[in-house]
Copies of this chain bind each other. A is one copy, B any other.
Amino acid sequence: MKIAVLLYDQLTALDAVGPYEVLSRVPGAEVVFTAARPGPVRTDMGSLALTADAGFAEVTDPDVLLVPGGPGCAALLEDGPTLDWIREVDAGTTWTTSVCSGSLLLAAAGLLTGRRATSHWICLDMLEAFGATPVGDERIVVDGTYATSAGVSAGIDLALHLAGLAAGPRVAESIQLVIEYAPEPPYATGSTADAPPEMVEALRASNLIVTG
């Protein structure tokens, strides 16, 4: 199973690394971090660069495509080379997936037209402009060969779900134990349904997931 993870300037690091930590542990999986050009890619919070080992031209036939989100996706919504690459590899994937605002790139590439999809809650409504149906109350939304997930940390849940589909539940359960994923969030504010409304609105106004 060949898995391509798209990297681009100003992506959100955990969007890519959470799924990587899970999917790279599926027996036989081969993950390749891919960007327009190989080399280091700076993430949105500024202090970390992730290395793309391959450029678009070298990665043409992954079984799984994972598109992370981050403020940098805004600059790519009309970027020909990125959207072309996404469309090209999507034609051969078993699963085309996204974390957070990464679904906006799938939508901008025309892949989510008429499909149910999710995204980071701050930019969920933007999916509609691309003809997708935003789903706000599901952490992972599967429609056909497309699996989109909610913001940032949701990529870990998405990847465990995909690991189960690809290799069976026993393998996915083992991976969950290896990464000791028995979360104990210290607060009860992880979703807009649980957080205080004024906190939700203040963060929505900042729009930091799309514009940084």
Contact = CB atoms under 8 A, between A and B. Distances in A.
Nearest to A202: B174
A169 interface: yes
Interface string A169-211: 1101110111111111111011110110001101100001100
Interface stretch (A84-92, A105-113, A125-133, A151-159): A151-159
A134 interface: no
Given A17-B13, A21-B13, A33-B47, A184 B139 contact: yes
A18 to B, nearest CB: 6
A182 B185 contact: yes
Given A17-B17, A152-B180, A170-B199, 19 more contacts: A20-B48, A21-B45, A21-B152, A25-B45, A32-B47, A33-B47, A48-B51, A139-B182, A151-B178, A153-B183, A157-B184, A160-B187, A173-B189, A174-B203, A176-B190, A177-B191, A179-B190, A181-B185, A182-B194
A103 interface: no
8 contacts: A13-B20, A17-B17, A24-B45, A25-B45, A31-B45, A152-B179, A164-B186, A169-B187
A173 B199 contact: yes
Nearest to A21: B14
Contacts of A169: 187
A208 B153 CA distance: 24
A30 interface: yes
Nearest to A169: B187
A62 B139 CA distance: 36
Interface residues of A, number: 66
Nearest to A22: B14
A10 to B, nearest CB: 13
A128 B154 CA distance: 35
Contacts of A172: 186-187
A8 interface: no
